[in-house]
């Protein structure tokens, strides 16, 4: 079964990459931890933390600042994985921009750009899935929802299996 026609595969690869860059890869809710409830919405390039209960606040962090905040903690390895996933996704976004702006030149290159973006999204999905697992097992108790992880893995699968004839 063909998921996408060959002539639309390039556009799908570019849009898929941008979608993965914009969607949250992880949403975690931690109810009533010492009188405070927390909601973490982790995008590939930013984390938004909402806290309410005894005190209410909102914090926005980059992956690197979140990693430095967790330095020395058992959960730091999860944040290290997030930084790696964000770096790979940044590479994919840069490649997709070049592909979008110079599609004919990129298509004429030695590698299939659709497969490259599919592979990069697959790597991002696997690395962020590992980060989600580490956050769930070493981080604060809570309910993690790996939304963007699932979407990036599905889109990677579609891009890697598209018929490019």
pTM: 0.90
**Strand, coil or helix: 139:** coil
The answer to whether 164 and 6 are in contact (CB under 8 A) is yes
Find out whether 42 and 27 touch, Cβ atoms under 8 Å.
yes
Residue 1 has pLDDT above 50, yes or no: no
pLDDT tens digits, one per residue of 36-57:
888 999 999 999 999 988 778 9
- Each residue of 103-160: pLDDT tens digit? 889 988 899 999 999 999 999 999 999 999 999 998 778 888 999 999 999 999 999 9
How many other CB atoms are found less than 10 A from the CB of residue 111? Answer: 9
126 is written with which tokens? 């696997």
- 48 strand-pairing partners: 41, 60
Domain assignments of the chain as residue spans, ordered by start: 6-23+62-140+149-159
In angstroms, rounded to a whole number, what is the distance separating the alpha carbons of residues 26 and 95? 24
Q: What is the mean pLDDT of the chain?
A: 91
């Amino acid at each position: 079964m063909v998921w996408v026609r060959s002539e639309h595969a390039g556009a799908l690869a570019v849009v898929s990459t941008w979608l993965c860059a914009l969607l949250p890869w992880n949403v975690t809710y931690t109810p009533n931890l010492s009188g405070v409830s927390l909601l973490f919405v982790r995008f590939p390039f930013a984390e938004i933390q909402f806290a309410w209960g005894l005190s209410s606040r909102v914090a926005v962090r980059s992956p690197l600042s979140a990693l430095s905040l967790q330095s020395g903690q058992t959960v730091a390895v999860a944040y290290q994985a997030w930084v790696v996933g964000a770096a790979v996704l940044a590479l994919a976004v840069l490649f997709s921009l070049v592909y979008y702006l110079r599609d004919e030149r990129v298509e004429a290159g030695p590698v299939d750009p659709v497969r490259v973006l599919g592979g990069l999204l697959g790597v991002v999905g696997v690395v962020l899935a590992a980060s989600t697992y580490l956050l769930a097992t070493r981080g604060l108790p809570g309910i993690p929802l790996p939304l963007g992880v699932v979407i990036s893995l599905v889109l990677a699968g579609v891009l890697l299996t598209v018929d490019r004839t």
